[in-house]
Amino acid sequence: LFMFEMETYTLSDATLERKSVRWSIHGIRLVCYIMLAHTVFARITTVSGFEAVEQAARDFKRLARTSPEAAAEQIVRAMARRRRRQLIGVDAWLLEKMQRIAPVAYQNLMVAFARKSRRQ
């Protein structure tokens, strides 16, 4: 964000055209990307024995009502009809409708559901 601010508002066009400034900006950006990748890698590897990932997979299997085969059929049909968005399963359809009709109630429900899931 800082680099975007520097490029768009702080530095003049004449300054940005200088090779040394351009290479410096690219170098700083590269360091930022490396640190970001390192942070993501560190976060993934420190999940306690991947128990959280396994628990999330179990929760998803329990909550997902649509089989992979049925989801694949729906996706293929949507692609054939050139749809940009396809809700897979009744649960996705209901959540989408609820979010559009009552967004505040939807958020409260999702928070309550997340808290209940963590307790189990």
Q: What is the pLDDT of residues 58-87, one digit of tens each?
A: 777 777 777 888 888 888 998 999 888 888
Measured N-to-C along each axis, helices 89-101 and 103-119 cross at an angle, to the nearest 10 degrees, of 130
Cα 86 from Cα 71, distance rounded (Å)? 10
* Assigned token pair, 37: 């990748």
Q: Percent of the chain scored above 90 by pLDDT?
A: 2
The per-residue pLDDT for 52 is: 67
**Tokens 């929760």 belong to which residue?**
59
Tell me the C-alpha to C-alpha distance, in Å, between residue 33 and each of 16, 46, 52, 89.
Answer: 21, 20, 26, 37
Global pTM value: 0.41
Tokens of 50: 């991947």
- Secondary structure (3-state) at 85: coil
